[in-house]
Structure 1
Amino acid sequence: MKTEIFGMPLPQLQTALAELGMKKFRAKQIYDWLYQKCVFDFAQMSNLGKAERQLLQETFSVLPAEIRVVRKLDSADGLTQKILLELPDGNAIETVLMHHDYGYSVCVSSQVGCDMHCAFCASGLHGAVRNLTVAEIAAQVYLFDARLAAAGERVSRVVVMGSGEPMLNFDAVFEALQFLHQPDVANIGYRNMTVSTCGIIPGIQKMQKLELPINLAISLHAVRNELRSELMPVNQGFPFPDVIAAAEEYATSSGRQVTYEYILLADINDSDRDAELLAEYLRYKQAGVNLIPANPVPEKGYFRPKMQRIERFVSILRRHRIHATVRKEMGKDINAACGQLRAAFAGEKAQGTRS
């Protein structure tokens, strides 16, 4: 069985090559091919000897070369691209590339599926299958880097906000981010990384202990206990006031403002009172609110509020001096919300198995 080379720390690769009888400096050359040139085929690594390339081919696998792009969707405005990826074990994940005026960001998944079962999210429809590895998380960035390389562009921001709960795959997620941060890998600054959680407090506390200035985002979505538990069952284990307290400790420790994600659902959590309560909980906190007008899900009774209601909600927050923005919608026409594409693909596979 081949050893996965992608995501392998340099000292470990140097040791592995030495065991094959190869010179230590070859590891740096391979790093350059993989992470700077985005070349995932040993046969194309021209400054290595033919025998060495053959030996590498027989010994190692390179994950990005083994991931199959099942579907690729481009938004009409050309700013968003979503790809559905089939991993070597047959599981599927999705990842999204977004082109902003400041560069390119990638929204990566941390798990195959999700066990959080948020009522408005497609990621948890089939539950969590397994955690992703360090290589599988990093590869999501590099599959886009390989596409951008021809234009001399690179991904400059990473958001762990795709399918899965990052804090339930803590070690792999943060190892991947630290790997991507390395100058000889993707050289992405920690301040250009964001991890979003439904509110797994032990994970927030572990993140604080790492002492890395990575941005923290909290999926909040309601500040009435019964309603949040209905929308997000995780609230029963980690009540949102405790989550906000843990997030504020992180903000104080890291010096990074916490972003609270709040999906606006018409006639459910978008009232004046909801806005007043949200402002009350976040008053004097190092916090900003990112409001997300919901994608309609009529079968679940979820609808997008009218623009007048959204603007009213924002105005109440700002009146209380809470920094609030309405998320710029990207990729709405290609189902860029978490889990939508994978859920459709899983349904098609299941249908194909039955037929």
Structure 2
Amino acid sequence: MSKYKKMKQLIADMRLPEYRYKQLLDAVFLQGIMRFEDMKLLPKTLREKLVEQFGETVVEIKAIHHEKSMQTDKVLFELSDGNRVETVGLFYKEGWNSFCISSQSGCGFGCKFCATGTLGLRRNLTVDEITDQILYFMQQGCSINSISFMGMGEPFANPQVFEALHDLTAPELFGLSQRRITISTIGIVPGIQKLTREYPQVNLAYSLHAPTDRLRETLMPITKTYPLGQVLDTLDQHIRQTNRKVFLAYIMLKDVNDSDRHAEQLTKLLFKHKKYLPLYHLDLIPYNQTTVTETMVPSSHTRIKAFCRIIHNAGISVNIRTQFGSDINAACGQLAGAYRDDQKQGERTMSAIQEQSFEWLLCPVCKSKTRLKIRKDTILDNFPLFCPKCKSEMLICVKQFHISIIKEPDAQTQSR
């Protein structure tokens, strides 16, 4: 339950009139008042109860470090348990403000080119920790024009993302149109299907990054669970039901996925979905190298343009994405929840890597083993996990390198 629902319940429990809740929300979202004590329209007894239950301010996460470049502001937040996440504000010259927010602290999917993936999964963010990233920038006086779930973590691996979508689009709260929000996924099929049902107008981006399952598996292990064909079929259904464009992200890696042959394989893959091809758009992304992904090298601009030309000549909507923020490690794939102080960034990152472990989980249904990368400080309760082999869903608990299944797949799940 989000804090806004808890605030509404608190007001009801105190037998105060309903308009007090509206006054509270108006103070936050219209007047920008974040300290409860400064909301003078509210009765003192209510202000004291709000401070007692929620702390002095509405924003619960703490900004501990800023890095800025010309059009980018990266903020490192510390959560109540000491975990960290990063959020990026993008300020366009036309006056448009876009914010890239995180859904998890770290990430357990281990994509080879992503700095976040080197950390392992620490934990899911709560609904309030997700929306507080936006509330913080509102507190700084920023207008919120669009939001993308492209920060740390895989959005569809965190059920709280859908609760966050509710708050972000609720007219009395953040009031954003669904079309101002984008969710980027590595291809979690149940998450895509749920988005189609519940938030059909939210923009959807799929991290493609390779034209074949064989290559993509080497870059993104999730492909073994959700191969390209299955994900693209699901995206076809999303387009059919929503009539909304789907964005395909493709990071350009030198001598890995950027040859003419790769471009031809990619056109062949997409033409298998020709019926819906007019509503697919391919974004070619110049790779942003990091200190923990040095084996990956960005393609040259000449190579990217040649790759783009092949795709364009095949009649597929494509462009080369313009990026900024790479100078402060704020661009795509660079967020790692760390900052430079008295230690070098590399030392901090290596320390994080040494505190992670690979553990095996045995599926109760098909008895296959799934390899999970977790950190020593990872704590998860009721975390949904799908067996890569039989697709059974289970709920797991993780604490101090120990994994336990707390809810095994039921008969209905196993029969899918």
**Given the superposition, is the C-alpha separation of residues 350 and 198 from structure 1 closer, same or farther in structure 2, using an over 3 Å criterion?**
closer
Q: What is the TM-score of this pair, normalised by structure 2?
A: 0.77
1:154 to 2:143 alignment? yes
**Given the superposition, is the C-alpha separation of residues 231 and 252 from structure 1 closer, same or farther in structure 2, using an over 3 Å criterion?**
same
Offset at residue 81 of structure 1 (A): 0.5
Match of 1:210 among 179, 198, 201: 198
What SS does structure 1 have at the residue aligned with 2:152? Answer: coil
What SS does structure 1 have at the residue aligned with 2:128? Answer: helix
Which blocks of at least 5 consecutive residues in structure 2 are unaligned? Answer: 355-416
What SS does structure 1 have at the residue aligned with 2:145? Answer: strand
Q: What is the letter of the counterpart of residue 159 of structure 1?
A: S
1:56 to 2:44 alignment? no
For 1:144 and 1:287, how far apart are their aligned partners in 2? 32
Once the two structures are superposed, what CA deviation does each residue of 1:97-141 show, in whole Å capped at 9, x if it has no partner?
Answer: 111236111111111110110000011112111111111111111
Match of 1:80 among 55, 72, 79: 72
RMSD: 2.3
For 1:205 and 1:51, how far apart are their aligned partners in 2? 45
* Alignment-derived partner of residue 41 in structure 2: 47
* Alignment-derived partner of residue 8 in structure 1: 4
Q: What is the TM-score of this pair, normalised by structure 1?
A: 0.89
Q: Is the 8 A contact 1:265 1:294 kept in 2?
A: yes
Q: What is the letter of the counterpart of residue 114 of structure 2?
A: C
Q: Percent identity?
A: 35
**Given the superposition, is the C-alpha separation of residues 209 and 143 from structure 1 closer, same or farther in structure 2, using an over 3 Å criterion?**
same
* Alignment-derived partner of residue 348 in structure 1: 348
Match of 1:257 among 245, 256, 278: 245
- Number of aligned residue pairs: give it: 340
What SS does structure 1 have at the residue aligned with 2:73? Answer: strand
Alignment of 1:7-156 (within 5 A): 7-9=3-5, 13-61=7-55, 65-75=59-69, 77=70, 79-100=71-92, 101=94, 103-147=96-140, 149=141, 153-156=142-145
Once the two structures are superposed, what CA deviation does each residue of 1:216-273 show, in whole Å capped at 9, x if it has no partner?
Answer: 1000100122210000000011111211111121112111111000000011100011
**Given the superposition, is the C-alpha separation of residues 117 and 182 from structure 1 closer, same or farther in structure 2, using an over 3 Å criterion?**
same
Q: Is the 8 A contact 1:68 1:87 kept in 2?
A: yes
Offset at residue 293 of structure 1 (A): 0.9
Q: Is the 8 A contact 1:161 1:195 kept in 2?
A: yes
Q: Is the 8 A contact 2:37 2:56 kept in 1?
A: no
Offset at residue 58 of structure 1 (A): 1.9
Q: What is the letter of the counterpart of residue 112 of structure 2?
A: A
What SS does structure 1 have at the residue aligned with 2:118? Answer: coil
Q: What is the letter of the counterpart of residue 165 of structure 1?
A: E
Query: Is 302-311 or 110-119 further displaced after alignment?
Result: 302-311
Query: Is 177-186 or 291-300 further displaced after alignment?
Result: 291-300
Match of 1:186 among 170, 174, 182: 174
For 2:289 and 2:84, how far apart are their aligned partners in 1? 25
Which structure features the higher share of helix residues? 1
**Given the superposition, is the C-alpha separation of residues 27 and 349 from structure 1 closer, same or farther in structure 2, using an over 3 Å criterion?**
farther
* Alignment-derived partner of residue 321 in structure 1: 315
Q: What is the letter of the counterpart of residue 67 of structure 1?
A: I
For 2:320 and 2:311, how far apart are their aligned partners in 1? 12
**Given the superposition, is the C-alpha separation of residues 211 and 140 from structure 1 closer, same or farther in structure 2, using an over 3 Å criterion?**
closer
For 2:89 and 2:268, how far apart are their aligned partners in 1? 35
* Alignment-derived partner of residue 234 in structure 2: 246
**Given the superposition, is the C-alpha separation of residues 33 and 161 from structure 1 closer, same or farther in structure 2, using an over 3 Å criterion?**
same
What SS does structure 1 have at the residue aligned with 2:63? Answer: strand
* Alignment-derived partner of residue 157 in structure 2: 168
Query: Is 210-219 or 260-269 further displaced after alignment?
Result: 210-219
Match of 2:216 among 228, 235, 238: 228
